Each structure stands twice: as structure tokens, then as C-alpha cells.
Structure 1
Amino acid sequence: MTKNPGDVPAPPPAGTGKGPAVSRQEFDALFATVRTWGRWAPADRGAWNRVTPDHVRRAAALVRSGTVVPMARPWNTVPGPDNSKPALHYMSDLGDVDPAEPSTHKDFIAVDYHGKAVSHLDALSHVAYRGQLYDGRIARELIDAGGARFGAVSALGALVTKGVLLDLPAVLGGKWLEPGRAVHAEDIVAAEKALDVTIGDGDAVLLRSGSFRRRQELGAWDPDTASAGLHVDAMPLLAERGIALLSGDGDSDVRPSPVEGLHSPVHALAVAAMGVPLLDNLDLEALSAAGAETGRYEFLLLVAPLNIPGGTGSPVNPVAVL
């Protein structure tokens, strides 16, 4: 039975595959292992520097049917357990302000997009670990009320590269991964084999847990309490493969966090250590259906964030072209 979005169900039980707890000392050693500081210029584009015109041409060659699949969730103005700061949308002109022809109709939108309700991009200024942004830059020296002077979303520009969908429910069985289910390196390798894909240099990895489908069928819950996502032990594999972007239908982190005292360890590893921007809260259901129909889980991916000087990210509607 589908619940109303405003209902607050009890937190779902944690899924299987949580994995061992990780100490902060172990996490810091892992952070140092995957860190790419000093590797690229400009540094505030981070891993997007990996993507060259050759990567774009190879990605474009993946297009066969020309099917376009947008992946943004609907603009969410309804409060709920996963939307504590609803987006705004209201009409500012109903065609009765100016009598001249033709009449026009205008609307206003606003959003505090970092969170669980809006499909968005995390730029490199969004996450600091132990006071340091990517490349070892000191966050307090570079981010203030005026915005970010390093790692702003305006430094990234658009990304066109090969996308790889890891459709884990299709591989592991079931309609979705239960909240709390951690995805480990061996799960990624198994998904590559089952879906006949290989994650390579400059690729974007999209992890489907089926959370959007679960929400549609069972109702909303607080994903800060429990969500399926990556365990930190998967990050060395992704670092070794040289990914340029990490994404999912959650925010990539499994919750509860496996790292003591750290609520979003994958964010810290991806953004602050590896310089890999994140795409959060995508709707991957249509892409999953297209993959099941065609047997293809690699595609041309286009991501064009808003050009916001000083911005820590941007709402975005990524597009897959098959």
C-alpha cells in the first residue's frame, strides 16, 4: 500500500551486508590511500580533468537507438521525512500584470538543494574533511558568506562522458536494496560481470539501489537514519579505476555510517580526497528499465550544472543517451 508523502513511517530495518565497523584511524589511512591532491590543474575541477575529447568521442560512440533518459526527480515542494526543506514554486505573473500582447506567465523557484529530496551535484567546495577541501585547501580561508573561492560548481562546467549503471537489485535480486544495505567492492565486481560492463578511466558510475521505487511503493522515510549505499571499502576499487563522477538514487553513502564519528564517509573520500563530484538523489528507474530491455548498461552521459559562481553545487537534470 502506498502511503502519503507526508506520513512518517517507522525507520525501515537495516539491510544485510553492512560489513565491519571502521575506526577513524582506519578511515584516515584509507583517505590517504585514495587521495589525489596535487595531480591536476585546475585543481578545483578535480577528477573531471580526467575526461578528454577522446573520452567524449568514445562515449558518443555508445549511442545506438538515440533514446534519451532524463534522471532528475520531480521538483519536490511537499514536506516529508526526506524533505525537511521543501523547494519553492509559485506563480509571479498570471498574465494580468502587463496589458500588452502577447500576455506572459512567470513563476519563481527556490531551493536549499543539498539534502535528500532534490537531484543535485556536489561540487568540490561542498565537503571538507578535518578542515581541508580537496587538494589540501583550507576551507575556512576559501569559503565564507559570499560563497566558495575554490571548488565552486562554476569551475566544473559541463561533463560528457561514459556512464555505467550498476543496477544492484537486478543483479542481487529483489525490487530494491533495503535501507542500511552496504555495497562493497565485491558487489561492484559482481555487478560488472553480471551486466557486462567495465568501469574505466573517466567514467561516471551510477549506483541504483531502487530507493525511489521503494519510496513510491511504501512511502517516504528518513534516509539519514537508514539508506542503502556504498561502504568505504568500495572506494579503493573506484579510485583504482579512475572514475570522474559518482552518483546514485541516494547520496552514495550507506547509513548508518560504518565509520565511527563520521556521518558521510563516502562523501569525504570521493569529494575531499579523490576530487570526484557527486550526483545525489537521481531517479534511475527509467534507466533501469531501458537497461533491462536492451541489455545495455553503458551509455553517453551529459551533466550540465548551473553556472553559479561561488556555488557549492547545483540542481541538475542529468541525461543518459542510449
Structure 2
Amino acid sequence: MDRKDAYRARICLRAAAGCNRHIDYVYFWKWLPEYQLMWMTGYDIVGGTASDHNGVVATFTIHLTRQRTAGHGIPCPQCPERKTGDAAMTAGRTTPTREDVLGYFDTLSNWGRWGDDDERGTLNHITDDVRLAAARAVRHGRSVSCAWEVAVPGELERSTTTCPYAVDMPGAENMPAAFHADRRWGFSSERLGITFHGNTITHLDSPCHIFWDGTMYNGRSHSLVDEATGSAWAAVTAAANGIVTRGVLLDVAGARDVPWWEPGQGVFPDDLEEAERRQGVQVRAGDAVLLRTGHGRFRREGRAASGFAQTGWHASCLPWLHERGVALIGADSPQDVQPSGYDDVLMPVHAVGLVAMGLWLLDNCDLEACATTAAELGQWEFQLAVAPVRFAGTSGSPVNPIATF
């Protein structure tokens, strides 16, 4: 593995009674301020340290909170009693190079696939047959929200007007006579201001949200986005009829038997496939894939990531999503793992996904109730309905995705 990218060590901690705590792989990533412990299978990580000044891991300390169930990870040569299982969770993981990721703008491009005037991108995977199949996924009639409540006043500028008796409101003297006949009704109304893009509000990104080299999806120039009128291309109104399709929840936190993935841990294709195997479900064309990393629980318990770090999709998932024909992805984080691992591609999932693929994104979902319901029912597929507000020329919309089982 390239020295500039990562370092890994394999160690075995031996207690007096033998090797009962075992670390499979430890990754140290160079782009953090210090060489912070980033990813490990088999245990919950609660601490880690740095390296020497030459960029080689010299010393480190970690604290283990519990041992995983046997059957995962790769065996230690010194620990024959340790059972082996699917090694995809640990070994043989291929990380795309910078050149690979930049190449995704070409190799994963959907420009022209559905015509030169297409603004819907991967939503074209959702055909009438896909919607009918999604309806058949409803077997219990139970629905759950996949959105966070928008906090007031923290995330929403709000001005509320209350009028106990409408006949007393300003301007009532100009209303028709019939308006004054009913003196018992009143009302409240609101004026709202919201910036939904970011790391907290559940929202939908349309393809015009991100530019790459000044270009949007399907080769359109950023100049089509006007300060006064918004975007004339690939705005959220391209999904005006809503997004109704089969949703699949991939609970990678549950698959690893941890409460959450730590900030900075990236989800790879083999993690997705491990979740598929454990849950008995397979992602197919037209699906919306919702990724549960446990960040919703992390957030609900008041945890805070240090620095610019968050869990999420690794760039290596992009070819997997493209090959599967996924129409929409969502996550309980803001999507991209941070740091991304690529100095000049800050958010590869956003950049390649929206610009090259036309892949619509659901950021900052709350998937805890969805995961609880799926586990209770033993059903990891459902009908997903997302109805963005028809904001003209806008690069997205706050949404409340509904999963119906």
C-alpha cells in the first residue's frame, strides 16, 4: 500500500489466559492532522494515537470495549482457536487511486445515456415496472419517516403570526361582508427561512447542486444557474412527480455489530455486500439504497466528531452503484466519508454522483426507526416515497422520505 495513503499493522494482544482480544487490521491515514486510528474490524474503537515524524507507525495505543462474535475477520497465525469467516470485511480491500477516481467522471458517466436533454439522470432507472414492484414490497402496511425533525430556531428562521379572531386582523375592514359574519374562527401562519444544504437537515440533492470544472450533469454549463432565478437545468423540479421506488436499507453498522461507524470510517463495496448477505436482500436496478452507518444514533446521543471527519460512502462504492443501476442513494450522514482520501476530490460521491452519473442524493437521513422496523419485521426492502417541494430553479429540497413496509 502506498506510503502516502495508508499504513497498516497487524497485532495480537495476549492476555494471561491467551489471545482473547484480537485486532485484524489497523489503518493510519496520512491526511489527518496526526495519524489517527481510522478503521478496524472486530472491535469498537475508543482511542488511538499517532506515528513518528517519518510517517511510519511507531507506537500506538488502543482500547477495546468488546470482542466481536467469532466468524468474522481473518485468522491470526498464533491463534488457531479463532474461527474464520468472510474475509471481505478485512483483507483484500482495493482502494481506487486518485487517477481512478478522476477517471470515474468518464467511465461512470451517464451523459447522453437517456438523451442530450435529459435532466433526471439515474431516476430514469425507475420505470413503471419498478414502481409496481415497489408496491408489492408493502406487506405489513407500516410506514416510518426517514427524516430528522427540523429544529427551531437552530435550523429554521421562523416568524409566526397568530390571530385568535380573524375579524380583528389588520386589513379585515377591507374584506367582504361575509368575512365578518363568522366571528369565532382564528388562525396562525408562518414565514419560514431555511438553508437545507449542509450536514443536519434531511434533504434531496438534484444534479445541478454540484459543478465539476464549471460543468453540471449532461455537459451543461454552470452559467445556467442564475442568482435571481436559480437553475435552468436539472433542478429539483425534474423530480416534480415524486420519487416512488423500492427502497433497500443496508445496515452496515448492524452487519459489523457496532452501534455506529466512527467518523472517518468509509463504507466500501464489500461492506455493502456483507449487509446484503446478512439481511437476505439484493440491490437491483431502480432501487433507492439507504445506508445506515449508525450516525443517527451517534448524533442522537450527542456525540461530536473532531475536526472535518464523518462516516459515509467511500469513492470505491461509485462503480458498484453504477453497475447495480441504483436510482437514488441516501445515508444517515452527509454521504461522503471525510476525509475522502483524495486531496483534490473533496467529495467524490457528490461530485461524480451528481455531475457524471446524475445520481440523486438523500443527505442526512434518520434511519434508526427504519432499521428497527426492518429488523422487527425481518424485511429490509420497502416502498420508498420522496416528494420534493416544487421549488423552481432550486438545487434540492428538504424532504421527509417515507418507508412503507
| Same fold, judged at TM 0.5 (above) | yes
Relative to structure 1, is the Cα distance of residues 318 and 76 closer, same or farther in structure 2, using a 3 angstrom cutoff? same
Select which of 106, 113, 128 maps to 1:39.
Answer: 113
Pairs aligned (count)? 302
Select which of 29, 33, 39 maps to 1:16.
Answer: 39
1:45 to partner: Cα distance: 0.9
Question: Which 5+ residue runs of structure 1 have no aligned equivalent?
Answer: 1-12, 80-85
Q: CA RMSD in A?
A: 2.0
Select which of 260, 264, 272 maps to 1:180.
Answer: 264
Quick one: which amino acid aligns to residue 39 of structure 2? T
Quick one: which amino acid aligns to residue 263 of structure 1? L
Quick one: which amino acid aligns to residue 39 of structure 1? R
User: Equivalents in 1 of 2:148, 2:158: separation in Å?
Assistant: 15
3-state secondary structure, aligned to 1:232: coil
Relative to structure 1, is the Cα distance of residues 242 and 203 closer, same or farther in structure 2, using a 3 angstrom cutoff? same
User: Equivalents in 2 of 1:23, 1:295: separation in Å?
Assistant: 38
Look up the match of 1:242.
325
Select which of 54, 58, 65 maps to 2:140.
Answer: 65
Contact 1:181-1:254 at 8 Å conserved across structures? yes
Contact 1:21-1:259 at 8 Å conserved across structures? no
Look up the match of 1:143.
225
Aligned residues: percent identity? 36
Q: Which TM-score applies when normalising by structure 2?
A: 0.71
Contact 1:44-1:156 at 8 Å conserved across structures? no
Indicate the structure (1 or 2) with the bigger Cα radius of gyration. 2
Select which of 228, 238, 247 maps to 1:155.
Answer: 238
Look up the match of 1:28.
102
Quick one: which amino acid aligns to residue 29 of structure 1? G
1:88 to partner: Cα distance: 1.7
The yes-or-no answer on 1:201 pairing with 2:285 is: yes
The yes-or-no answer on 1:95 pairing with 2:156 is: no
1:74 to partner: Cα distance: 0.8
User: Equivalents in 1 of 2:167, 2:396: separation in Å?
Assistant: 35
Contact 2:209-2:395 at 8 Å conserved across structures? yes
User: Equivalents in 2 of 1:233, 1:66: separation in Å?
Assistant: 36
User: Equivalents in 2 of 1:20, 1:110: separation in Å?
Assistant: 44
Quick one: which amino acid aligns to residue 56 of structure 1? R
Relative to structure 1, is the Cα distance of residues 98 and 261 closer, same or farther in structure 2, using a 3 angstrom cutoff? farther
Relative to structure 1, is the Cα distance of residues 177 and 63 closer, same or farther in structure 2, using a 3 angstrom cutoff? same
Look up the match of 1:215.
299
Question: Which 5+ residue runs of structure 2 have no aligned equivalent?
Answer: 1-35, 41-89, 169-182
User: Equivalents in 2 of 1:193, 1:78: separation in Å?
Assistant: 43
Contact 2:310-2:333 at 8 Å conserved across structures? yes
3-state secondary structure, aligned to 1:43: coil
Relative to structure 1, is the Cα distance of residues 119 and 98 closer, same or farther in structure 2, using a 3 angstrom cutoff? farther
- Larger relative contact order (Cα-Cα within 8 Å, sequence gap ≥ 6): 1
User: Equivalents in 2 of 1:104, 1:266: separation in Å?
Assistant: 45
User: Equivalents in 1 of 2:221, 2:112: separation in Å?
Assistant: 14
1:97 to partner: Cα distance: 6.0
1:20 to partner: Cα distance: 7.8
User: Equivalents in 1 of 2:273, 2:388: separation in Å?
Assistant: 30
The yes-or-no answer on 1:232 pairing with 2:278 is: no
Look up the match of 1:167.
251
